[in-house]
Chains A and B, each alone.
Chain A
Amino acid sequence: MSLDDVLARRRGEAGTIVDVDEPHLKLVVFSLDGDWYAFHGERIREVLADCPVFFLPGCPPSLEGVINVRGEIESVLLLRSILGYPETADTANSRILIGQGKAMRSGIRVDRVEDVVDLPASRLEAPPHTIPDHLAALVLGLVSFGGRYVSVLDLERLFDDYRAGLR
């Protein structure tokens, strides 16, 4: 093997791309009263900033009403109420996430959307045992992001529990 061959092989080794195709999580990160949560990005169809909500009598306080999204009527859940946060009058930055479950779709009102991020799946940690009971069934895991812990919520479970009257 000539020196040229050796050097060519070396250059080839240096140029080899190591496949580190680690699975990633796309997360829609939002906050409630300063606590950060997220849903998986593929479960959120869109984020609405300013959308009139039609009140419906006969529904629980945690069901704010319905909205018209380009001719489709969607319910709007108040996540603050469902997760046990007190009511707030400060809705200036609130947004409605359109969540898509396997069998149903609904709007979900959050205080503020913080970011949409792509993180390595390995960053998802198991939820701690100290998590409050009312959250335990909903939290898929925690990720550290922006210097905070973000609780990743199970949208499917949220919808199923709400439909069953468990929340």
Chain B
Amino acid sequence: MNLKNITADKLVALYRNRDLSVTEVITSVFDEIDRTDNQVRAYLTLCRDRAFEDARRIDAKIAAGEELESLSGVPVAIKDNMALKDVPTTCASRILEGYTPPYTATAVERLRAAGAIVVGKTNMDEFAMGSSNENSAFFTTRNPHNLDCVPGGSSGGSAAAVAAGMALVSLGSDTGGSIRTPAAFCGVVGMKPTYGRVSRYGLVAFASSLDQIGPFAKSVRECAQVLEVICGFDHFDSTSADVSVEPLLRDLDQPIKDIRIGIPKEYFIPGMDPEVKSRLEKCIKTYEDMGCRLQEISLPHTEQAIATYYLIATAEASSNLARYDGVRYGARKGGDSGLNDMYRKTRMNGFGKEVKRRILLGTYALSAGYYDAYYLKALKVRTLILQDFRKAFDQVDVILTPTSPTVAFRIGEKTSDPLSMYLSDIFTITCNLAGLPGISVPCGRNSAGLPIGMQLLANHFQEALLLRAAFNFERAFLLQ
């Protein structure tokens, strides 16, 4: 069983017909992990025993002729910033060493209730801060398409696990592009839902007003299937949206003729990789051929998005990460000279360079004398960015952009210059600032064989439309 050649639907159908047992599939998944993951290094923790336990339980259900759930026996990977009871959650940070959550995140709980089997927790940039996976405190995950390249970040492990056939689908989190960038770099589909669509309960907070959980899969349909399972209101997250969920799968294959697609002129910047640009032009042509109405739009404050993002995200992070002080979670250092000494020593030893850099920047932006000039200013520019999108969605239904200005870059290429790494998030960041749903869909490869991603954005809670636009593209693209 090679997971690269099967979809969730077909897998569950094979189980139902008793052509295949769940235990056989889980065995082959771990065989694949044993073969491949010493090179790709997507996983931080494997849940072998409990995965086989789950597999036997579902096999018993099948033997007893019971109904299967939509994701019964589907092997999934979970980014290691989501809680799974009794399994360590590290956020790829030394500061959480030894921390094991006593509960499971709502999104993971819902996947499990739908029959999915968690095979492991995946690597990421420490506390989801990064665009390449190189900020993991443990090791760097590699891109399955070229092991010398980054898988993208911060959910690089989850994207690589699906791309390498070490999980059928996976969950990541997206604060400024952390699902969509690795999806583009690894050649899989990755989706960030509307802010509030998926409960953040059990997701370790990075920037609370931007964070959102979403799925990775090889196909748009599987992405929709996973999202349909994990989304919806949750009492345990006070920012969870109590907004009804449209069926996501039902109308997936309905034609998209006459929908209006906007191409923001600010996203076709001079520094863009020419191969990415020419691919995107082909994507636009594909939509035109399907009868969509394409038009140029303007999102005038795009240029200010990165500055706005890095002020808001670091300010929120500096507050969220204040809780890691050696008292309640994981590692504890020092303490002989009192409590403050313990706080400082724990945090100095526990956090990596990038996390410290962001905590310092965020603390600076919030500190007396600078709050108005930096943090408050960024919140106001955020309003302008949101207004740009409101105006744009008066004219169009969907916005089409590249996911990233480049393909996957080489490991080490951008680590010495934090700002150049930040600038690589230019196309994904506005979506989080405006709370919109966004998806990255593979749209071909460059001459070196590295995947290129197309990004689609829609208005708040328009996931069904977004997925339909993505599904129609994927189908047309595969026929080309």
Q: State whether these chains interact.
A: no
